[in-house]
Structure 1
């Protein structure tokens, strides 16, 4: 079940982020020196709380009485931005991420957004392929000097609008 996150649940959400992003951080050599918060695996509570205070929409996927998935998104019209879709490793490959993504798409539509965007490690081929299967397209790539991977921005068009952003 997907539920809105309340301030008192932020610590549990932080645990979801740390657990779910750890494997990617290790695989791509993320460190404090080359990647802020080591790909959100070391995000301080104060930073997540600041996002919450700044109006990021946060939702948890609750299964068996615990938060096993986390979605964070924001809106800067005409786009919505997914900050996080994270699932605890023990609960991955059960469709929870797909449900959170569908929820994010529907939420963005109700907010009259034209597109939804996200940033990711473009070299994470399985994850990138998953997003492509969901209808996302890579719209930009960026290579940073201190890291061995490429950062990609992906977008999903929510409407048949012709307007260019």
Structure 2
């Protein structure tokens, strides 16, 4: 990865939302297949999202950002503010770009972004059965704060959070 060829930009228009939708779906479908998640048994999984859902997120003023390498979008993250807690949503990197530091770039961006807005902590909910992802978040400094089994989901949700370090 060459950092001068990588940028993170806010997703501002419908064309960018369409590109982001493809990144999200292509990224999340890998784990959905691994865990036998389908549109029927887990319609809320990002692998099965649609443009209308992204537009609703945008209307709620959820920050959306794309990760680009040489002008091609390869990642995405949404950041939702709720008081002094920020929630990470739809963090994704296309499969062929994984394990190269792009996810960490997105996370570093998230923490710089929320720190500038006075956040106290960042929270995320993930599929507990996805141990690779769970361990990745732990390596980044997230701690597990709870598990919850929802009737409408065919997996357990793991809630994790990390305190935001203060700017000195």
TM > 0.5 between the two?
A: yes
Structure 2, unmatched stretches of 5+, are: 1-6
Work out the CA distance in 2 between the residues paired with 1:92 and 1:58.
20
The TM-score normalised by the length of structure 1 is 0.91
For residues 133-163 of structure 1, give each alpha carbon's deviation from its aligned partner in whole angstroms, at most 9, with x where no partner exists.
Answer: 1000111101134554211111001148xxx
Deviant stretches of 4+, over 3 Å: 145-148
Q: Number of paired residues?
A: 159
Work out the CA distance in 1 between the residues paired with 2:85 and 2:152.
29
Matches within 5 A, 1:77-92: 77-92=83-98
Structure 1, unmatched stretches of 5+, are: 161-165
The TM-score normalised by the length of structure 2 is 0.89
Secondary structure, aligned partner of 2:61? coil
Q: Does residue 11 of the first structure (1) align with residue 18 of the second (2)?
A: yes
For residues 50-100 of structure 1, give each alpha carbon's deviation from its aligned partner in whole angstroms, at most 9, with x where no partner exists.
Answer: 101210101111112211000111101110000121011111111111000
CA-based RMSD of the aligned residues comes to: 1.4
The answer to whether the 8 Å contact 1:56/1:74 transfers is yes
Work out the CA distance in 1 between the residues paired with 2:33 and 2:91.
18
Matches within 5 A, 1:135-150: 135-145=141-151, 147-150=153-156
**Alpha-carbon distance, 1:23 to partner:** 1.1
Q: Match of 1:44?
A: 50
